[in-house]
Amino acid sequence: MELIQTMLINFIMLGLFYSLIALGLALIFGVMEVLNFAHGQMYVLGGFVLFYFYGKYHVNYFVSLIICGVLLAALGFLFEKFLFRQVIASEKVTHSGSFLLALGTSLLLEEGALLAFGEKARGVPPVIQGIAKIGSMSVSYSRLLVIVISLFLILALFYFLNFTKIGRAMRAMTQDKETASLQGINVRQLSSLGFCLGAALAGIAGGVMSPVVSFSAGSGGPITTKVFIILLIGGFGSLVGAIAGGFVLGFLEAVGFALFPSDLVMLIIYAVVFLMLMFRPRGLMGKVFRE
Amino acid sequence: MIHKFKWTRYIGLFVLGIIYLIVIPLIWGHSSFILNIAITASIFSIAALGVWICFKVGLMNMGQSIFLALGGYCTAILSVKLGLSFWLCLPISGILAAIVGLFLGSVTRWLKGFYFSILTFVLNMAMKQILMISDFTGGASGIRNVARPNSVSIGGLTIIPQFNGDNKLPYYFLAAVLLIITVIVIWRLTTCPIGRMTDALCQNDKLAASVGINIVKYRLISICTSSFLAGISGAFFVGYTTVIYPITYTTTESIYLPIYCLFGGVNYIIGPILGAFFFQAVFPFLSILHDYQAIIYALIMIVVIRWLPNGIISLRFRRKKVAE
For residue B323, the model assigns a pLDDT of 42
The residues of chain B scoring below 70 in pLDDT are: 1-9, 316-324
CA B66/CA B291 separation, integer angstroms: 26
Q: Quick one: which of A88, A38, A4, A81 has its CA closest to A202?
A: A38
Residue of chain A whose Cα is closest to the Cα of B215: A291
A95 pLDDT more than 90: no
Q: What is the pLDDT of residue B101?
A: 93
The 10s digit of each residue's pLDDT in B75-132 is: 999 998 888 888 889 999 999 999 999 998 888 887 777 888 888 888 888 888 888 8
What is the predicted pLDDT for the residue at B75? 92
A93 and B203 within 8 Å at the Cβ level: the answer is: yes
Query: Does residue A12 register a pLDDT over 90?
Result: yes
Q: What digits encode the pLDDT tens for the residues A271-282?
A: 888 888 888 888
Q: State how far Cα A275 lies from the chain centre.
A: 23
B59 and B50 in contact (C-beta within 8 Å)?
A: no
For the CA atoms of B33, B37, B38, B39, the dihedral, rounded to the nearest 10 degrees, stands at 100
Reference B123, options A72, A222, A274; nearest CA is: A274
Q: What angle do CA B291, B293, B297 make, to 5 degrees?
A: 150
Give, for B321, the enclosing helix (H) or strand (E).
helix B314-323
Q: Cα distance from B260 to chain A (closest Cα, Å)?
A: 11
Quick check: A96 and B126 CB within 8 A? no
What's the gap in Å between the CA of A118 and the closest CA on chain B? 12
Res B9: pLDDT = 64
Residues near B261 by beta carbon (within 8 Å), at least 6 away in sequence: B48, B51, B52, B55, B271, B272, B275, B311
Residue in A35, A110, A278 closest to B114 by CB: A35
Q: What is the pLDDT of residue B322?
A: 45
B121–A281 C-beta distance less than 8 A: no
How many pairs of residues across A and B have Cβ atoms under 8 Å apart? 128
Is the minimum CB–CB distance between B126 and chain A shorter than 8 Å? Answer: yes
CA distance A26 to A231: 7
Q: Taking residues A101-110, what's their average pLDDT?
A: 90
Q: What is the pLDDT of residue B8?
A: 64
- Tens of pLDDT, residues A58-79: 889 999 999 999 999 999 999 9
Q: Does A116 touch chain B (CB under 8 A)?
A: no
Residue A36 has pLDDT above 60, yes or no: yes
Residue-wise pLDDT tens digits, A159-197: 999 999 999 999 888 888 888 889 888 888 999 999 999
CA distances from B324 to A291, B152, B307 (A): 39, 57, 21
In degrees, to the nearest 5, what angle opens at C-alpha B260 toward C-alphas B255 and B261?
A: 100
Check CB contact under 8 Å for B112 and A290: yes
- Exposure class string for B76-104: b at 16+ Cβ within 10 A, else e: bbbbbeeeeebeebbebbbbbbbebbbeb
* Residues in a beta bridge with B157: B154
To the nearest whole number, what is the mean pLDDT of chain A? 88
Three-class DSSP labels, A184-245: CCCHHHHHHHHHHHHHHHHHHHHHHHCCCCCECHHHHHHHHHHHHHHHHHHCCCCHHHHHHH
pLDDT for B6: 61
Q: Does A89 touch chain B (CB under 8 A)?
A: no
| Residue A286 CB coordination number (10 Å) | 23
Identify the pLDDT of residue A7.
Answer: 87
pTM of the model: 0.87
Closest B-chain CA to A231: B118
Is B121 in contact with A278 (Cβ distance < 8 A)? no
Residue environment code for B279-305, b if the CB has 16+ CB neighbours within 10 A, otherwise e: bbeeeeeeeeeeeeebbebbebbbebb
| Residue B46: HSE in the Cβ half-sphere, 13 Å Cα cutoff | 31
